[in-house]
Amino acid sequence: MCAINGFIDFQSIEPKGTIIEKMNLALVHRGPDAQNVFSKQHTHLGHCRLSIIDLAKGSNQPFHSSCGNYTIVFNGEIYNYIELKKQLPNFKFKTNSDTEVLLELYVVMKEKCLDLLNGMFAFVIFEHQTGKLFMARDRFGIKPFYYHLNNKGFTFSSQIKGLLASNQFERVLNQDKLHEFLMHQSINDPYTLVKDVMSLQSGHFAVLEHKQLSISKWYDLEKVIQNKKANNSDAKKNIKELFNKAIALRMRSDVAFGAFLSGGIDSSMVVASMSQSSEKPVKTFSVVFDQQAFSEQQYAELIAQKYKTEHTNILLKPDDLLAILDDAFQMMDHPTADGINTYLVSKVTKEHGLTVALSGLGGDELFVGYNHFKLAKKIARFRYVFSLPLFLRYLMIQCVGLFSSVSEKLKAVLLIKRYDLSIIYSILRSNFTPQMSQDLLVKKSVDSNTGFIEQKENIYASISLLEFDHYLKNVLLRDSDVMSMAHSLEIRVPFLDHNLVEYVIGLSDNLKEPTWPKKLLTESLDGYLPHEIIHRKKMGFTFPWKIWLKNELKTLCEQQLKFLKSLSYFNADYIDTLWNRFLNDQISWSRIWILVSLGRWMQENDIK
């Protein structure tokens, strides 16, 4: 796990190594073990290394091929690198690193090597003879890759902070995407919140040649699923085998590793499988609170006792959060509602000597873990309602509202022009509804397309595909990467092993019906978890933000909301309305915190 940086100069061949050095310095926390730069005429590559596989200096990057014609900078892990060596039977490896395997595979196979990789990655390979730059990102966007292209040159980095440190462009807010950000706490790649800073899309590769950038898609999850057509027979046996194999691959490490343990089904399954594969007790970490309504301590300790892990409870109090809040905001690469959760647990995990931690992230998206899966299916059963005129549907909402509380999101769903699962998902998954997002902005959005793709009718599979392409990639994985790497901690996500993902999403919906939480997963790994874990109420990994925002963090909230109100494109009166509604328990804390996060991020990074 590392940071990669680069600058290709279009205007001169004067030394530009200082640009890369500044970019490396901005991201040194991602790779404290070694920082190096490679320059050849117009091309300048930088790398900050966090040593995990083959700790020897010979594996430092930028790394050169045996023929001397190729140089790579690589962020991530190729878990099946040992098996991939068989693809090069006559090659004599000089290191034990996955970096060398990846580079030599590319030399032989070019972009075709991507299909063989099982891992998380973003890498760039420079071809010395042609001057071509080849870039690629993993299937699901676990590892980030940002870039900026103008007449000065092409700049890339593992984080937006790295790009900003290059000073090769103006730091301007992408106002055209504010509506989308307010709705979803994120912007769908290839765009970002910084104008003209782009994100290479997951499952894509790019080639820079003769100052021209071309981008191609190398992996399409939906097409793979359609082509494979998973067999429902022996599904539970196959899931168990695929899951345990995914865990075993992600336990390959030359440094100490452990696991996050919330006490929920996903993280508990990860710990259970790790314990069966490990000769030593697994090290586990949980965040606990004095407020019992938020604490999952008893469930985490139940799993820790069952599998005899070396367990650490991290007791979090408001003062603890306040003490690290400034540091967390400084590390924040993008405004986030809950990335600070990961920042704090990663901090303590690293302080206990770990460099790698496995996470249960992705289990909800894969095994129908969210309520909106079931709600979307219920809406689909009544799709005939969407054929009614809008005024009749509005009257229905008014009538139902007399007898029950109709949520803002459900109202928004009922008033869409026609039944469309992708639009319904977009609304159900939103932080602010489309109307609330519009009300926050002085200039109304003219772009009604939030970037959500159209899906065919197979409800659970379709929602999973949408989750992977949007919330998982653009919020959860982004926050997980940035906030863990702020402490030089690598997070691995076994639920996102592509073999497991392709198989599970391809299964029919009737197998995934959540009669109880994660029914297909818990039946497939029967006996791994006690009854109390499987049938407990889902809490999710969150802090007592509602309490803190009204007390210890109230001043911070008011300061940042005041800053947003000073900006010409925000509706100051509506911001006041939202703040008052939150104080009166009429809207959730996340709607306020994402605004606070946006204001602080803009000021921290001097975004105009």
For residue 40, which phi and psi values (nearest 5 degrees)? -145, 105
Please confirm, yes or no, whether 113 is among the known catalytic residues: no
Dist. CA 391–CA 607, nearest whole Å: 43
Give how far the C-alpha of residue 460 lies from the chain's centroid of Cα atoms, to the nearest Å: 21
Q: What tokens appear for 278 in the block?
A: 């490990």
Q: Answer whether 261's CB lies under 8 Å from 313's CB.
A: no
Q: Any idea what the Cα angle at residue 119 is, between residues 370 and 329, rounded to 5°?
A: 60
* Residue 529 CB neighbour total at 10 angstroms: 22
Beta strands in 218-359 (DSSP E): 257-260, 283-289, 310-316, 356-358
> Rounded to whole angstroms, how far apart are CA atoms 182 and 399?
30
In the set 2, 48, 113, 557, the catalytic residue is 2
Q: Which residues lie closer than 8 Å to 429 by C-beta, 6 or more apart?
A: 184, 372, 466, 470, 471
Whole-number Å distance between alpha carbons of 387 and 384: 5
Residue 396 tokens, joined: 């229905």
What single-letter amino acid sits at 277? S
The pair of structure tokens assigned to 295 is 């604490």
Q: Which of 37, 42, 40 is nearest to 211 (CA)?
A: 42
Under 8 Å between Cβ of 60 and 41: no
- How far, in Å, CA of 520 to CA of 534, rounded? 12
Dist. CA 522–CA 14, nearest whole Å? 60
As a whole number of angstroms, the distance between CA 106 and CA 415 comes to 51
Report the alpha-carbon distance of residue 358 to residue 258 in Å, rounded. Answer: 6
What's the burial of 214, exposed, middle or buried (CB within 10 Å: 0-12/13-18/19+)? exposed
Whether the Cβ atoms of residue 81 and residue 121 lie closer than 8 Å to each other? no
Query: Which helix (H) or strand (E) is 535 found in, with range?
Result: none
CA-only gyration radius of the chain, Å: 24
CB atoms within 10 A of CB 164: 23
And the tokens for 570?
């925000």
Q: How far apart are CA 123 and CA 78, in angstroms?
A: 11
In contact, 3 and 44? CB cutoff 8 Å: no
Helix (H, G, I), strand (E, B), or coil: what is residue 481?
helix
Residues acting as catalytic residues = 2
